[in-house]
């Protein structure tokens, strides 16, 4: 009996270890991490160059070095994807001078969601998000563009007075996860680049960008708000996936 219990305990422990190893491994060991890059580099960009058509992308900006792609998950879900090879939020390229302002480009495409829905969607109901290295499935940087989940929208409204121009912890978790928030000074995302702003905070904490998910939205006053979530080594279900705050069905705008 004792030996049987020992064996059962050992099996359960091994299964848990295997689950944890799978959960924390980077994207490139969990399926085809090159799917988005293949679409953009082998179809969208060549088609734009040869035929002046972005298909299968929604748009290709050759001069700006980015493309807009309709994600198959959800009716109101687009992706801003660089046309240069950039792995993700951890890439040092994002911190270099001269790198395109990808968040600015993604935010400029937000009206596409209104067009897809057939009616205006307020900026405070929209969100951009990029996941951490451990919270994504693709090896090409992509910024999700969609609506906020209703519960996230309500929490941010309630916490708006708490958010200032320095990174602070939200007084209330979002979807059970602790988020940081800061208000941007102005609306020019080319001058206030979210990647660089988060990196400044991460460096002061001795952390690594690969562990963070980053999101952007606006409040009712039109001020831009950055949100960041750090991968939690203890919390099993927190991979640093800021995408979790988005609702691809846009219930807020229905």
Average pLDDT over every residue of 145-169: 97
Integer CA distances (angstroms), 108 to 46, 68, 111, 188, in order: 23, 11, 7, 11
Q: Please tell us whether the domain made up of 26-253 is placed in CATH 3.30.428.30.
A: yes
Quote the pLDDT of residue 236: 53
Q: What is the tens place of the pLDDT at every residue in 180-195? A: 999 999 899 999 999 9
pLDDT category of residue 254 using cuts at 50, 70 and 90: confident
Quote the pLDDT of residue 80: 99
Q: What is the tens place of the pLDDT at every residue in 21-35? A: 444 455 544 557 899
User: What do you get for the CA distance between the two ends of the chain, in Å?
Assistant: 59
Long-range contacts of the stretch 27-35 (C-beta < 8 A, 24+): 27/133, 27/134, 27/136, 27/137, 27/138, 27/139, 28/139, 30/137, 31/137, 33/137, 33/138, 33/139, 33/140, 34/138, 34/139, 34/140, 35/138
- The DSSP code sequence of 47-93 is HHHHHS--TTSSEEETTTTEEEEE-SSSSS-EEEEESS----TT-GG
Q: Is the pLDDT of residue 7 over 70?
A: no
Tokens of 132: 């951490």
H or E stretch covering 2: helix 2-24
Integer CA distances (angstroms), 179 to 111, 130, 168, in order: 26, 14, 8
Tokens of 126: 């929209």
Tokens of 229: 């979530």
Q: Which of 67, 60, 132 is nearest to 102 (CA)?
A: 67
Q: Is the pLDDT of residue 10 over 90?
A: no
Average pLDDT over every residue of 202-225: 97
pTM for the model stands at 0.88
Quote the pLDDT of residue 16: 45
Least-confidence region, from 160-169, 216-225, 228-237: 228-237
Q: What is the tens place of the pLDDT at every residue in 92-115? A: 999 999 999 999 999 999 999 999
Q: Is the pLDDT of residue 178 over 60?
A: yes
CA angle at 76 for the pair 47 and 224, rounded to the nearest 5°: 100
- Domain ranges (residues) in the chain: 26-253
């Amino acid at each position: 009996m004792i030996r049987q219990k020992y064996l059962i305990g050992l099996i359960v422990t091994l299964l848990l270890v295997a689950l944890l190893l799978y959960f924390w491994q980077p994207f490139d060991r969990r399926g085809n991490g090159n799917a988005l890059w293949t679409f953009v580099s082998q179809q969208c960009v060549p088609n734009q160059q040869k035929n002046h058509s972005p298909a299968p992308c929604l748009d290709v900006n050759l001069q700006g070095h980015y493309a807009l792609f309709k994600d198959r998950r959800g009716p109101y879900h687009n992706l801003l994807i660089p046309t240069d090879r950039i792995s993700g939020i951890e890439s040092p390229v994002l911190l270099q001078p001269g790198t395109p302002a990808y968040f600015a480009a993604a935010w400029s495409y937000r009206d596409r969601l209104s067009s897809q829905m057939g009616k205006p969607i307020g900026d405070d109901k929209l969100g951009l998000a990029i996941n951490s290295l451990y919270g994504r499935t693709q090896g090409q940087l992509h910024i999700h563009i969609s609506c906020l989940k209703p519960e996230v929208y309500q929490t941010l409204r309630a916490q708006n007075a708490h958010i200032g121009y320095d990174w602070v912890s939200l007084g209330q978790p979002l979807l059970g996860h602790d988020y940081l928030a800061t208000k941007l000074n102005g609306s020019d995302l080319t001058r206030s680049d979210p990647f660089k702003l988060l990196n400044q905070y991460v460096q002061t904490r001795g952390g690594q960008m690969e562990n963070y998910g980053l999101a952007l939205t606006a409040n009712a006053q039109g001020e831009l708000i950055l949100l960041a979530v750090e991968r939690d080594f203890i919390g099993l279900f927190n991979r640093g996936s800021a995408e979790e705050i988005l609702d691809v069905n846009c219930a807020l705008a229905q």
